[in-house]
Amino acid sequence: IESACGAYPTGLRDSKLLSAAARERLIDPLRGWVSDYAVGEASAREIDQLGLTSALRLAGRRALTTLSITPELIILDGSHDWLSIATESLFDASYPVAEVAPVRTRVKADLTCASVAAASVFAKVHRDQLVSEMARRVPGYDLENNKGYATATHRAALRLLGPSEFHRISWKLPSRVAD
């Protein structure tokens, strides 16, 4: 977000504090406010293969490659810089961007920084759209209601149906009920 962006849209706050409808209503005003934005993804299979932190890095770097601008600074919500590569590793070749702008972490940045709150809204709306598509493709897991979170009905469906292509099998999932 550039200084020329002006005042942030009314109602902007951490996406977790907004209803789904409020997040959706903010998307167009946010698109008009930001210079550019991108949401990166990592599949369940990539998370299982790389681990959560490396998959976050992969998704973040994928997002950076689609931006029309080069950020001067990246602010991450939380205390851990999962975007930078601290040392060379076996997995470095997996990441689509060699260098990133300086990264700063800030605990609860989505509550105190408008650009991070905007990113949280873009990401949450995108995730909700993905989960809605997953619910259509793999019915039976109650994804339209649980949004992929480990509710009792979701865990029961996992026991009955086993994991779908969208479930991370590296996480401890309920055992499937014998046929």
Residue pLDDT, tens place only, 45-103: 999 999 999 999 999 999 999 999 999 999 999 999 999 986 555 555 555 555 789 99
Q: Tokens 């339209």 label which residue?
A: 144
Indicate if 131 and 153 belong to the same structural domain: no
CB 124 within 8 A of CB 17: no
Number of folded domains that form the chain: 2
pTM reported for the whole predicted model: 0.86
Give the pLDDT confidence score for residue 88 in this predicted structure.
Answer: 54
The CA distance from 156 to 160, in Å, is: 6
Indicate if 25 and 101 belong to the same structural domain: yes
Strands 74-77 and 103-106: parallel
Indicate if 49 and 60 belong to the same structural domain: yes
Tokens read off for 126: 């995108």
Indicate if 91 and 173 belong to the same structural domain: no
